[in-house]
Amino acid sequence: RDGRTDDPPPLVAAADLKKQLHDPRLRILDTRAGSDYVRGHVRGAVLVDVADWTRSSSTEESLLDEEAWAERLGDLGIEHDSRVVVYGTSWPTAARIWWLLRFQGVRNVRLLDGGWSAWRKVEGPIDNRPPMIDATDFTPRPRIELLATKPEIRHWLQKDSVQIVDARSAEEYRRHIPGAVHIEWTRLIDERGHMRSAANLRTLFRKAGLDPHKPVVAYCRSGARASVMVIGLYRAGFSDVRNYYFSWNDWISPPPGPVETVSR
């Protein structure tokens, strides 16, 4: 199976979102704490229960629980032709929600580049009351091709047929999946809190030895930082990108996968 995608670009600029607020198909999801949301949020945004989404995607069984995901997305008023924008103050948290939406079959989902602070900077409209949302009948269409699993990675390692990127810290990378290159996710973000340019990212990935024409798998500890890496890889022009969403937590659980160690 192939992780190639012709989805829209993964990011939207705050200035562009500001012009699109009137779009009736637009759904904006806030991934911050509830206390931040009630103090002020992007006009029309609904609050996502990030803890629930994280818990409910921690195993393959829960990730593929179509009934539960139908309710979760339907309660947010999401339909298959919705234009969804996700934002927050944490890149990994917002990226996790972005990736889960894509996995469940929402094609048009983008992350607000720079998050809440970027919205404040462009003086975008802010509300402190939740919008009225009509629940929808959403039918999940899991995109298995976007997910990498432990058995698949073990198979690919034997055939030497995949590139793997570890998005964790240098300390965590001391024990990693064999052959994985290390690019900490923070290197994808600039000093303003925006994702680096496509050209900048292409250079970063090329120096790490990654080939944009070959499949690539990103992983971290539990899927969130890997989701940031997935966005960066798409932005840089990689087309066949998969998220080992269950990541290191899954890799070292019985039966554990092989581990490579970096000596100090």
What value does the mean pLDDT take over residues 85-90?
Answer: 99
Tokens at 100, concatenated: 């889960």
Q: What pLDDT does 37 receive?
A: 98
pLDDT digits (tens, 9 = 90+) for 125-141: 999 999 999 999 999 99
Q: What pLDDT does 216 receive?
A: 98
Range 11-143: architecture per CATH: 3-Layer(aba) Sandwich (3.40)
Question: Would the CATH topology of 11-143 be identical to that of 148-261?
Answer: yes
Residue 161 sits at the vertex; the CA angle it makes with 234 and 173, to the nearest 5 degrees, is 70
Q: Domain 148-261: which topology? A: Oxidized Rhodanese; domain 1 (3.40.250)
Q: Does the pLDDT value for residue 1 go beyond 70?
A: no
Q: Does the pLDDT value for residue 3 go beyond 90?
A: no
What value does the mean pLDDT take over residues 34-63?
Answer: 97
Q: Map out the domains of the chain as residue ranges.
A: 11-143, 148-261
What value does the mean pLDDT take over residues 206-211?
Answer: 98
pLDDT digits (tens, 9 = 90+) for 67-78: 999 999 999 999
Q: Does the pLDDT value for residue 35 go beyond 70?
A: yes
pLDDT digits (tens, 9 = 90+) for 160-200: 889 999 999 999 999 999 999 999 999 999 999 999 999 99
Give the H or E element holding residue 171. Answer: helix 170-173
Q: What pLDDT does 212 receive?
A: 95
Q: Cis (ω within 30 of 0) for the bond into 92? A: no
Query: Measuring CA to CA, which residue among 100, 255, 95 is closest to residue 185?
Result: 95
Q: Does the pLDDT value for residue 17 go beyond 90?
A: yes
Could you tell me which residue, 4 or 19, shows the higher pLDDT? 19
Q: What pLDDT does 8 receive?
A: 84
- Determine the Cα–Cα distance for residues 251 and 262; give it in Å rounded to an integer: 17
Query: Measuring CA to CA, which residue among 164, 182, 162 is closest to residue 172?
Result: 182
Q: pTM score, two decimals?
A: 0.96
Q: What pLDDT does 71 receive?
A: 97
Q: What pLDDT does 263 receive?
A: 77
Give percent of the chain above pLDDT 90. 94
Across 105-124, b (16+ Cβ under 10 Å) vs e yields bbbbbbbbbbbbebbeeeeb
Task: Give residue 204's pLDDT band: very low, low, confident or very high (50, 70, 90).
Answer: very high
Burial class (CB in 10 A: 0-12, 13-18, 19+), 172: middle
What value does the mean pLDDT take over residues 105-125?
Answer: 98
Task: Give residue 258's pLDDT band: very low, low, confident or very high (50, 70, 90).
Answer: very high
